[in-house]
C-alpha cells in the first residue's frame, strides 16, 4: 500500500512541479539579472514583476519575468532608508515608501522598460529619461545579435539649472509641467523636441529624451532572450 502510494505520487509530483515551472517561467518568459556596478548601494525596483531589493556595490538580483508581461520596468533608487518591515523612503525613485515596490517610482528615475513577446513574437525594450535621470544604466540582451542599449553619461552632472534636484535631473515635463514638455493637450499628436529634450538626447542618444522620442529609442529582440540590466555602466 505504502509502496504503491510512493510509486504513484512521485511521477504526479514531478509532473506538477514541471507544470508549475512552465506556468511560472512561461513559454517566452525571461530572466532579468539586475546588477549594481555603482560604487554605492542602489535599491533596485521592478513593476509589475520584481518588487524591490537593496543591492550593495557589485551585487546582482535575479528576477523571473513571465511570458507576455507588458509595460514592465526596472529602475534604481538612491538615498534610501528602510526599517525591518520594509517601510521608509528614498531620495530618488521612491515608490510609496516601501522597499518592495508595487507602483511606479517618484521622478527623477532612469527607467529600463520592456514588453516580452509582444507583436511579431518580439520583445521590445528601451531606456527612458521621460521621468528624468538618476543613474546611468544599460540593458544587454543574452542574444548578442540584439542591440545593447546604454545611457552611461552622468546626466545629473550637467543638468540644466531649472531641472536640478537632489541626486538627479528632472525631465522638463516633471519640472515645468506644460503641454509642450509633456506632449499633452495641443501637443498630444505633434510634439517636437525641445532644447531640454535635446540636452537629454545629447547625453544619452539611445534613450527616450521625451514622450514622443520613439524613432530613435525603441529596440527589439526575438522572444526567448534574457536580459542584463546594469546600474552605473
Ligand atoms: C510568443 O507568443 C506566441 C503566442 O502569441 C507563442 O506562440 C510563441 O511560442 C511565444 N514565443 C516564445 C519564444 O515563447
Ligand atoms: C513583494 O510583493 C509581491 C506582491 O506585489 C509579493 O508577491 C512578494 O512576495 C513581495 N516580496 C517580499 C520580499 O515581500
Ligand atoms: C537572435 O537575434 C537574431 C537577430 O534578431 C535572430 O535572427 C536570432 O534568431 C536570435 N537568436 C535566438 C536564439 O533567438
Ligand atoms: C553624477 O554627478 C553627480 C554631481 O556631480 C555626483 O554627485 C554623482 O555621484 C555622479 N554619479 C555617478 C554615478 O557618478
Ligand atoms: C519618426 O519617424 C516617422 C516615420 O518613420 C516620421 O513620420 C516622424 O516624423 C518621425 N518623428 C520624429 C519626431 O522625428
In the chain the domains, ranked by start, together with CATH numbers, are 29-231 (2.60.110.10)
Q: How far is the CA of 46 from the centre of ligand 5 (A)?
A: 30
pLDDT at residue 27, rounded to an integer: 65
Q: Where are the beta strands (DSSP E) in 66-210?
A: 72-77, 81-82, 88-89, 111-115, 122-128, 137-141, 149-151, 164-165, 168-169
pLDDT band at 64 (very low <50, low <70, confident <90, very high): very high
pLDDT at residue 12, rounded to an integer: 47
**Whether the CB of 51 sits within 6 Å of ligand 2:** yes
Q: How far is the CA of 45 from the centre of ligand 3 (A)?
A: 28
Q: pTM here?
A: 0.88
Q: How far is the CA of 191 from the centre of ligand 2 (A)?
A: 38
pLDDT at residue 34, rounded to an integer: 98
Per-residue pLDDT tens over the stretch 13-47 = 444 444 444 444 446 699 999 999 999 999 999 99
**Whether the CB of 189 sits within 6 Å of ligand 3:** no
**Whether the CB of 154 sits within 6 Å of ligand 4:** yes
| Cα dihedral sign, 74-78-82-87 | negative
Query: pLDDT at residue 176 above 50?
Result: yes
Per-residue pLDDT tens over the stretch 69-112 = 999 999 999 999 999 999 999 999 999 999 999 999 999 999 99
Which one, of 57, 133, 50, lies nearest residue 99 by Cα? 50
Q: Which atom of ligand 1 is nearest to the CA of 224?
A: 13
Amino acid at each position: 500500500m505504502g509502496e504503491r502510494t510512493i510509486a504513484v505520487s512521485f511521477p504526479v509530483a514531478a509532473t506538477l512541479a514541471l507544470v508549475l515551472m512552465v506556468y511560472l517561467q512561461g513559454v517566452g518568459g525571461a530572466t532579468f539579472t539586475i546588477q549594481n556596478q555603482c560604487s554605492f548601494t542602489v535599491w533596485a525596483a521592478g513593476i509589475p514583476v520584481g518588487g524591490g531589493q537593496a543591492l550593495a556595490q557589485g551585487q546582482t538580483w535575479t528576477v523571473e519575468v513571465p511570458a507576455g508581461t507588458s509595460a514592465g520596468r526596472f529602475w534604481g533608487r538612491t538615498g534610501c532608508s528602510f526599517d525591518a518591515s520594509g517601510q521608509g523612503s528614498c531620495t530618488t525613485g521612491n515608490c510609496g515608501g516601501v522597499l518592495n515596490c508595487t507602483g511606479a517610482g517618484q521622478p527623477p528615475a532612469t527607467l529600463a522598460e520592456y514588453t516580452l513577446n509582444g507583436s511579431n513574437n518580439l520583445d521590445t525594450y528601451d531606456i527612458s529619461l521621460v521621468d528624468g535621470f538618476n543613474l546611468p544604466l544599460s540593458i544587454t540582451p543574452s542574444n548578442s545579435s540584439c542591440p545593447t542599449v546604454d545611457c552611461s553619461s552622468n546626466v545629473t552632472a550637467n543638468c540644466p539649472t531649472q531641472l536640478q534636484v537632489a541626486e538627479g535631473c528632472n525631465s522638463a515635463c516633471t519640472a515645468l509641467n506644460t503641454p509642450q514638455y509633456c506632449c499633452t493637450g495641443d501637443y498630444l499628436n505633434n510634439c517636437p523636441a525641445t532644447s531640454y529634450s535635446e540636452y537629454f538626447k545629447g547625453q544619452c542618444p539611445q534613450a527616450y529624451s521625451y514622450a514622443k522620442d520613439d524613432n530613435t529609442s525603441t529596440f527589439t529582440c526575438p522572444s526567448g532572450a534574457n536580459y542584463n540590466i546594469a546600474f552605473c555602466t
